[in-house]
Amino acid sequence: MDRQQQRNELIEFLRTIQRPDYPRSQIDEDSSLIDSGLIDSLALLQIVTYLEETYSLDFREIGFDPAELRSVGSILNLIAREFKA
C-alpha cells in the first residue's frame, strides 16, 4: 500500500471520529489534528487502536509518543518508519 492510499484511508477513518461540529473541509496533512479542532484528545486512543488493527503496530513495543500522532503527515511517517524497521 502506498503513502497516498494510506493517507486516503487514514482521512476516511478520521472522518468517522472527528468532532461533530468540525466543518467538512479538506484535512491538511500538516495541521495538528487536535489544535485544528478536528478531534479531541480522547480520539487519540481511537487512532492508536486503528493503527494497531490496520497496520499491526504494537505501541507497547515501539513506545507511544503523542507527537507522532499530531497530524496526518506524522502518522503516515510513523507507519512508514515502522514498516522499514
Residue 49 within any structural domain of the chain: yes
Reported as a pLDDT band with limits 50, 70 and 90, residue 85 is low
The domain in which residue 43 lies consists of 3-19+30-84
- CATH at 9: 1.10.1200
Q: pLDDT for 4-27, tens place per residue?
A: 999 999 999 999 999 888 877 778
What stretch of H or E contains 11? helix 3-17
Q: pLDDT for 27-69, tens place per residue?
A: 889 999 999 999 998 899 999 999 999 999 999 999 989 899 9
Report yes or no: 51 and 44 within 8 Å, Cβ to Cβ.
no
Kindly provide the b/e burial profile for residues 69-79, where b requires at least 16 CB atoms within 10 angstroms of the residue's own CB.
Answer: bbbbebbbebb
Residue 24 within any structural domain of the chain: no
- Quick one: pLDDT at residue 28? 87
Residue 12 within any structural domain of the chain: yes
- Quick one: pLDDT at residue 64? 85
Residue 25 within any structural domain of the chain: no
